[in-house]
Amino acid sequence: MSAPLALPEDFIRGTQLLRAGRFDAALGAFRTVYSAAQAADNVDLMAATLCEMAWSCHRLGDAEQGLECAIGAKWLWQRRGNQLETARAMSVAAMLYLELDFADEAQDCVSRALQAASMEDNESMLAFVLNAQGLVLLARQQPEPAVDLLEQAVAVAGRQANTAGSAYYLLNLGMCHAMLAEQASSRADHAEADRERAAAIEFSAAAIQHAQRGDDFWTLRLALGVNARALALQGNGEAALLVLDQWAELLDQPGLSQHLHYLLTLGDVQLHVGRLEEARQTIVDALGRAEAARRLDQQVSAAGKLAEILEAMGDAPAALAQFKRYHFLCLEQSAAATQRRNRVAILRANVMLRRNRDQAMQDQYASPTVFSAGQRRA
């Protein structure tokens, strides 16, 4: 067994910043560590730092740059023969592929991560990989088998008193039950929908408690959103609004992705409780922020929700205009997805070229310039 990797202070500070929800600052700290590790030819530290940079980008909603870092980490760990860390890097890569809507690539990554993790006796890493597999199944609209995997991950985190892991896995378990409730509603199985929605509320509430104990603001904000939406769909809209008040009162500074998620959830809850003008204002705010930041996916969500709200308000001409806008945004989203797939294909090809070049140099670990993603961020 190899000796534990010595982690410098900046690396430890980066992990602390991650837990506190200060993702830009965390990425900056890891970037500093990576530069020093690269100068010292410390490959293990380079690989570990790239994985943390990928996770930081994931939390920032910067999936393409995060994927570049994750692929680099996976490659370096594979060269070092470290199956455990290879599994971690591939699991992170799978989650980033999901953000980019590449479910097939995500499944391929997580399948290889499971294979790598099974070669080591490490229950904690296996739980992390099972969580990633659960998220892939959830993205494929298969929440039922995802529940089984996430329950295993939750059990492991509980046995190990892993507060952060418990919060994250419980959040994802809550999302699975929320999807099961939606699927039951679509079948008009209202009793089953109520049971699954109650489970979504239960698990998201547990995620909130664990995230609060661990000061994990990213997970906490998402869990509050899942909890509020499930409460609203259950018919308890006022309780849902109180939950979202907790979101607004948190002292950390959320990233744009989380702020947009909050506004979209708030507008949806306001619609459910009949506060139509408030809902309209909330979603108009979300749409404006998404447009200013060129966040096309959130523009699509906001435009569709705004059309729904305007229809509920009885403003048929405005609702029709917004539905048309939603339609054109969906077309633009489809074109953007094609462009994104091409960019990711180029990214992967560049990594392969550099990997082949460096392997030809045998034991000389050349500077992997492909890992510039985290360094490009200011």
Decide if 221 contacts 244 (C-beta within 8 A): no
Distance CA 193, CA 172 (A): 18
In a domain, 186, yes or no: no
In a domain, 280, yes or no: yes
Q: What is the CATH number of the domain that holds 324?
A: 1.25.40.10
In a domain, 319, yes or no: yes
Distance CA 69, CA 106 (A): 15
Q: Which two tokens stand for residue 271?
A: 């619609």
> What is the structure's pLDDT at 361?
52
In a domain, 286, yes or no: yes
> What is the structure's pLDDT at 5?
77
pLDDT in tens, the chain (378 residues): 455 678 899 999 999 888 777 889 999 999 999 999 999 999 999 999 999 999 999 988 888 899 999 999 999 999 899 999 999 999 999 999 998 888 888 999 999 999 988 888 899 999 999 999 999 999 999 999 999 999 999 999 999 999 999 999 999 999 999 999 999 999 999 999 999 999 999 999 999 999 999 888 999 999 999 999 999 999 999 999 999 999 999 977 788 888 999 999 999 999 999 999 999 999 999 999 999 999 999 999 999 999 999 999 999 999 999 999 999 999 998 898 888 778 877 776 776 666 666 555 545 544 444 454 444 443
What is the reported pTM?
0.87
Decide if 94 contacts 136 (C-beta within 8 A): yes
What confidence tens digit (pLDDT) does each residue in 8-32 have? 999 999 998 887 778 899 999 999 9
> What is the structure's pLDDT at 1?
46
> What is the structure's pLDDT at 56?
94
Q: Which domain holds residue 326?
A: 255-362
Distance CA 10, CA 8 (A): 6
User: Residue written as tokens 């990633």?
Assistant: 132
What confidence tens digit (pLDDT) does each residue in 280-320 have? 999 999 999 999 999 999 999 999 999 999 999 999 999 99
> What is the structure's pLDDT at 342?
82
In a domain, 281, yes or no: yes
What type of residue sits at position 110?
V
**Any idea what DSSP says for residue 187?**
T
**Any idea what DSSP says for residue 372?**
G
What is the CA angle 297-302-304, rounded to 5?
A: 100
> What is the structure's pLDDT at 357?
63
How many domains does the chain divide into?
1
- Is the Cα torsion angle 217, 221, 226, 232 positive or negative in sign? positive
> What is the structure's pLDDT at 74?
93
In a domain, 324, yes or no: yes
> What is the structure's pLDDT at 366?
47
In a domain, 116, yes or no: no
**Any idea what DSSP says for residue 371?**
G
